[in-house]
Each structure stands twice: as C-alpha cells, then as structure tokens.
C-alpha cells in the first residue's frame, strides 16, 4: 500500500473556502437537494439527516422516505417537502431525479434489493451523489463526471473494500487513498480522526471532533450536512471538507460547557449556526 501525503484541513482553509450567501440570492440559487433516508426501524435517520441538510445551505430539501416516516418526522422538518416511496420509484424507473443539485442516499435505509436497484439507477445521473449506511455495498462504481461520495465508518469500509479491520485501523489513509483511486470516488472514512480521500489522489485529515460524537445518529447528521453544503459550495471537495470540519467543531463547542456523554446528534444541527458563523 502506498503511503499518501496527508493534508490537515485547517481553520484557515475553512475560512477561505466557506461560501458567501449573496444578497441577491433566492431559493433557486442553491437548488434542490434530495435526501433518500429513513425506514420502518430507523425513521430518526431521516429526521437527523434532514435537519442537518436544512441547516447547511440548501435552497429546498425534498425527503424521499416511507409514508410512515413522513408522518413521524414532518412536524420537526417543517421546511422540507416529501416524496413518498421515492426509493422504490427510483428503483423502478418512474421517478426523475436528474434535476436535483445533489442527492444523498442511505441513512436508516435497509441494504436490500430495492436500495441496490435505486443506487444502480442513481449512479447513472450526472448529479453529485452521496452514499452512506444502507446504500453502501460492495460493488463496482462506474466512472462518471459528477462526484461520487462514500461515507463509511470502519465497519462499513471493511464491508465495501475488502480491506481487513486491522489494515483499516493501522493504515486508514492508505486504504482510503487506494479505494478512492480505484473507484473514482471521494471516500470519507469516519472515525475519531476522519480521513477524506479524493479520486484525484489528494488525502485530507480532519482536525475537529471528540468522543461526544461516538453515538448513534451523528453519522446521519454528517450525511445531511454534506448534502446541504454540496448545494452552496462551488467545489464539491470543499463541501465535504467543511462539513466534516464543522460537524466536529459543533461537538467541540458542545463539550466546552456540557458533558461529552450527553450530546444528542440533533444538537449538532442546533449548534451549527453559531459555529459556522464563527468561521465566516
Ligand atoms: N471522536 C471524534 N469523532 C467521532 C468519534 C470520536 N471518538 N466517534 C465517532 N465520531 C464521528 C465519526 O467520525 C462520524 O462522523 O461520529 C460520526 C459517526 O458516524 P457513524 O459511524 O456513521 O454513526 P451513525 O451512523 O450515526 O450510527 C451508527 O451506523 O453501522 C451503522 O448500524 C450502525 O446504526 C448504526 C450506525
Ligand atoms: Mg452511519
């Protein structure tokens, strides 16, 4: 395995690359994002990712999920609109999706045949696509012009890459780098020190975050943040790097005054407005 050069994504780089929200902008300036998330046993994943996306710069957010999940989350994501059974409809070819500015798929969805078929279809669109959790599987990713972003934690990366847990823990940057080059994808290998490997060979390390994030739901929040940031950044890699940085920075802000044991994933989205502002 080749040992890549690792660039630490710094506060200065964040300040330099966060987008300006132009005074004359309207909701169409940022486009519509599509979030495919949530299912019968994990409706909360759609809520957490949805809240995070809504706080991360989108013009409009559409959440594709089950009717049951819509009923259970809609009162907390009032700003979103909903597409019932979107995953099934994408899988069977009856739902257009090429007009979205960015698409994220996977938080809380089952890794079943419907999800697989939907991902196959989504990969054909020239739209930035993020795959997480239930949408991550061992497959060949086609070469495409629009960015493909995969956000596995160590266990998911083991499953999709074939690297062993030991290899990933010992050489995370090398494993992510080699996978990103082979599959033409940006890999966000999540952990206490998240690695971002780009398909052009560059490898970054995040410098924020703490053990308050070691808790179910924080990954769903990150997926929503990256999705939202994709719609307001010019360069997709800056959207990823700034989302990962700010996600950790929110957790760092939380533990200044509160115990790391007690943070809830949705509180990241509540802290984001203040933390983001501090880098503008
Ligand atoms: N320090 C800093 N950051 C951390 C730490 C830590 N000690 N532990 C976790 N994190 C960050 C990761 O970098 C990542 O951004 O928290 C986030 C956790 O994301 P996931 O592992 O995807 O967690 P999440 O999806 O919310 O919950 C676990 O994943 O495999 C599935 O079935 C599993 O439902 C479970 C879910
Ligand atoms: Mg996860």
Low-confidence ranges of the chain (pLDDT < 70): none
Looking at residue 24, what is its pLDDT? 84
Query: Of all protein residues, whose CA lies closest to atom 4 belonging to ligand 1?
Result: 192
> Ligand 1 centre from 94 Cα, in Å?
33
Looking at residue 165, what is its pLDDT? 97
Instruction: Report pLDDT digits (tens) over 68-97.
Output: 999 999 999 999 999 999 999 999 999 999
Looking at residue 26, what is its pLDDT? 79
The owner of tokens 């490997």 is: 197
Q: Which residues contact 51 (CB under 8 A, 6 or more apart)?
A: 76, 77, 221, 224, 266, 269
Beta strand 195-197 pairing with 81-84: unpaired
Domain formed by 6-17+26-277, architecture: 3-Layer(aba) Sandwich (3.40)
Would you kindly state where each structural domain of the chain is located, as residue ranges?
Answer: 6-17+26-277
**Dist. CA 11–CA 16, nearest whole Å:** 9
Sheet holding 60-65, edge to edge: 6-8, 203-205, 195-197, 186-189, 148-150, 129-131, 102-105, 32-36, 60-65, 81-84
> Ligand 1 centre from 180 Cα, in Å?
20
> Ligand 1 centre from 174 Cα, in Å?
21
Looking at residue 143, what is its pLDDT? 87
Looking at residue 28, what is its pLDDT? 76
β-bridge partners, 87: none
Which of 218, 251, 253 has the most ligand 1 atoms within 8 A of CB, as the residue to mutate? 218
Measured between alpha carbons, how far is residue 126 from residues 20, 66, 97, 123, 149 in Å?
A: 25, 25, 10, 8, 13
Measured between alpha carbons, how far is residue 87 from residues 48, 100, 198 in Å?
A: 18, 15, 27
């Amino acid at each position: 395995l080749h040992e890549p050069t690792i660039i630490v994504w710094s506060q200065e780089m964040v300040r330099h690359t966060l987008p300006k929200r132009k005074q004359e902008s309207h909701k169409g300036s940022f486009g519509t994002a599509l979030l495919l998330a949530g299912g019968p046993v994990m409706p909360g994943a759609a809520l957490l990712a949805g809240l995070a996306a809504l706080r991360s710069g989108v013009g409009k957010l559409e959440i594709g999920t089950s009717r049951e999940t819509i009923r259970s989350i809609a009162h907390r994501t009032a700003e979103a609109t909903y597409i019932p059974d979107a995953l099934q409809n994408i899988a069977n070819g009856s739902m257009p999706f090429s007009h979205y500015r960015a698409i994220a798929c996977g938080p809380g969805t089952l890794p079943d045949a419907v999800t697989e078929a939907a991902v196959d279809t989504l990969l054909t669109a020239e739209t930035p696509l993020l795959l997480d959790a239930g949408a991550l599987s061992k497959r060949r990713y086609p070469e495409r012009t629009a960015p493909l972003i995969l956000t596995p934690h160590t266990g998911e990366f083991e499953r999709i890459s074939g690297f062993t847990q030991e290899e990933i823990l010992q050489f995370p940057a090398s494993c992510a780098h080699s996978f990103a080059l082979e599959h033409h994808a940006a890999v966000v290998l999540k952990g206490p020190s998240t690695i971002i490997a780009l398909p052009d060979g560059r490898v970054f390390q995040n410098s924020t975050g703490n053990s308050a994030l070691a808790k179910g739901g924080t990954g769903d929040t990150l997926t929503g943040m990256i999705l939202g940031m994709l719609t307001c950044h010019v360069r997709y890699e800056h959207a990823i790097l700034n989302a990962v940085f700010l996600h950790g920075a929110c957790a760092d802000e939380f533990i200044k005054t509160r115990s790391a044991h007690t943070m809830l994933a949705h509180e990241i989205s509540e802290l984001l407005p203040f933390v983001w502002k501090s880098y503008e």
